[in-house]
């Protein structure tokens, strides 16, 4: 990393940071900085997706993402977060999330989630999308389509004063119509000056308390599976796969709560 690029406070520590109890609620300057970080993350994600094709390795995607982020004067948030060794997460097929880029070549018919977070001017922007590699089966296409629809439905109910639990209700109802499982272990989270904070956003049906507040930013990032929602984490302490080897898909946006709705920040 170039010395002139500011690094998040967790860089240099081997410890996984605890989820902060500090909710991310911003003034106008903070919102402007969040918009900038999230727009950069969205641009990087789109460019990374253009690299997805058979024979490309996830290491190559990581190197490209790293370069795009530092060229913009930002820091790749995953790098050094609890000893995570790369600048992006790449999760292929049965990998639910937190896949570490490596030398494996993508194959025709794979699906791959690319999860990009950037740290720009003291704020994190966090987003992910599942991409098709070559000729993907109709079964995989349907899973990916419904997962993206679940994210959209979760965002649609968000506004000042709305209950957080309605997000999981909306997502679960839509996923269950198609027979898909909604992974319960992994959650959305507050995002801003801190990478991961309260509130915790559950994507499955739940009865958790709490209401959204204008000016607040958090992620919604449902993971759906073709089979079991149970998971196994590899000895690297990051890569997490479905217990039965079935495919998983994920989409994620960082959003800003407004008086009347929610603004998707990770777009441009």
Please state at what angle helix 138-156 crosses helix 165-177, rounded to 10 degrees: 150
> Where are the extended beta strands (E) located within the chain?
75-76, 89-92, 95-97, 111-120, 123-132, 181-182, 188-190, 197-201, 217-220, 223-225, 231-233, 240-242, 248-250, 253-257, 262-264
Distance of CA 102 to the CA centre of its chain: 19
Dihedral (Cα; 67, 14, 198, 218), 10-degree rounding: 10
Give residue for tokens 């991409």.
131
| Rounded distance between C-alpha atoms, residue 55 and residue 106, angstroms | 5
Is 204 annotated to bind a ligand? Reply is: no
The reply to whether 149 sits in an annotated binding site is no
Annotated binding-site residue? 3: no
Within the chain, how many helices (H) and strands (E) appear?
4, 15
**26 annotated binding-site participant:** no
Distance CA 251, CA 243 (A): 20
Cα 189 to Cα 203: distance, rounded to the nearest angstrom: 11
126 annotated as belonging to a binding site for a ligand: yes
The DSSP result for 172-212, as a single string, is: HHHHHHTT-EE-SS--EEE-SSSSSEEEEE--SS-----B-
Q: Which residues are annotated as a binding site for a divalent metal cation?
A: 115, 126, 189, 221, 252
Q: Which residues are annotated as a binding site?
A: 98, 115, 126, 189, 196, 221, 252
Q: Which residues are annotated as a binding site for substrate?
A: 98, 196
């Amino acid at each position: 990393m170039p010395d002139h690029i500011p690094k998040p406070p967790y860089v240099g520590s081997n410890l996984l940071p605890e989820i902060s109890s500090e909710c991310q609620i911003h003034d106008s300057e903070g919102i402007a900085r969040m918009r900038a970080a999230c727009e950069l993350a969205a641009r990087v994600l789109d460019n990374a997706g253009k690299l997805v094709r058979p024979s490309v390795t996830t290491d190559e995607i990581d190197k490209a993402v790293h370069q795009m982020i530092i060229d913009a004067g930002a820091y790749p948030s995953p790098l050094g977060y609890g000893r995570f060794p790369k600048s992006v997460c790449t999760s292929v097929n049965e990998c639910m999330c937190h896949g570490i880029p490596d030398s494996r070549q993508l194959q025709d018919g794979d699906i791959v989630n690319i999860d990009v977070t950037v740290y720009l001017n003291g704020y994190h922007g966090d987003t992910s999308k599942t991409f098709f590699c070559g000729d993907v089966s109709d079964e995989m296409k349907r899973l990916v389509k419904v997962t993206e629809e679940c994210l959209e439905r979760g965002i649609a109910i968000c506004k000042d004063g709305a209950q957080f639990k309605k997000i999981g209700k909306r997502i679960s109802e839509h996923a269950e119509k198609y027979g898909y499982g909604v992974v319960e272990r992994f959650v959305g989270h507050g995002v801003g000056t801190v990478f991961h904070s309260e509130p915790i956003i559950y994507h499955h049906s739940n009865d958790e308390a709490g209401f959204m507040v204008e000016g607040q930013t958090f992620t919604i990032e449902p993971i759906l599976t073709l089979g079991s929602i149970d998971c196994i984490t590899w000895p690297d302490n990051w890569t997490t796969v479905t217990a039965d080897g079935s495919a998983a898909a994920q989409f994620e946006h960082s959003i800003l709560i407004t008086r009347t709705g929610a603004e998707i920040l990770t777009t441009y």
